[in-house]
Amino acid sequence: MRFQPPKLPVVKTIKQQTNSKSKKGKKGKGGKGKNGKTKKKKQVHIRYPKTFYVDTPLLNDDGSIKTDDTTGDVQYEREYGYYTCYHIAHRKLWKQHLLEEQNNTIAEIQQLEEEAKAKKELAEAEAKAKAAARRSKKRQKKK
């Protein structure tokens, strides 16, 4: 299962301001619309939350990802933090960095699991070979 960071809620509010005083006597476009009225200016304000959270997977003592015994789902812990102007300014780059690190971490975990599996298979093969050698020694002693 691939971990996706939560999307931050962004609320946009649009305020319209009109300039009710029109300047008479000046000719030209000077901010006037079709009917000689001044154009409306729109300002967009984006509000960001003061805090944010990230669900991080829990790890066992050996460094493997902790799963629920009954369902087999990954167990997560919710971590909270303050959302500062630094986070807002570098949001896209941090997201890109975290996704790259996530891919690297997943690749490292898969490599470690493959190495552990290979070691386990090698240990099982050695144990079988030792057991076979013991059996052959016992057969030779009985004869």
Task: Read off the pLDDT of residues 66-121 as tens digits, 9 standing for 90 and up.
Answer: 888 888 888 999 988 887 888 778 888 888 888 888 888 888 888 888 998 999 99
DSSP calls for the chain: ----PPPPP-EEEEEEE---PPPPS--S-TTB-TTSPBPPEEEEEEE--SEEEEEEE-B-TTSPBPB-TTT-PBPEEEEEEE--HHHHHTHHHHHHHHHHHHHHHHHHHHHHHHHHHHHHHHHHHHHHHHHHHHHHHHHHHH-
- Which pTM does this prediction carry? 0.35
- For 12-66, what is each residue's pLDDT tens digit? 555 455 555 555 555 555 555 556 666 666 666 677 778 888 888 888 888 888 8
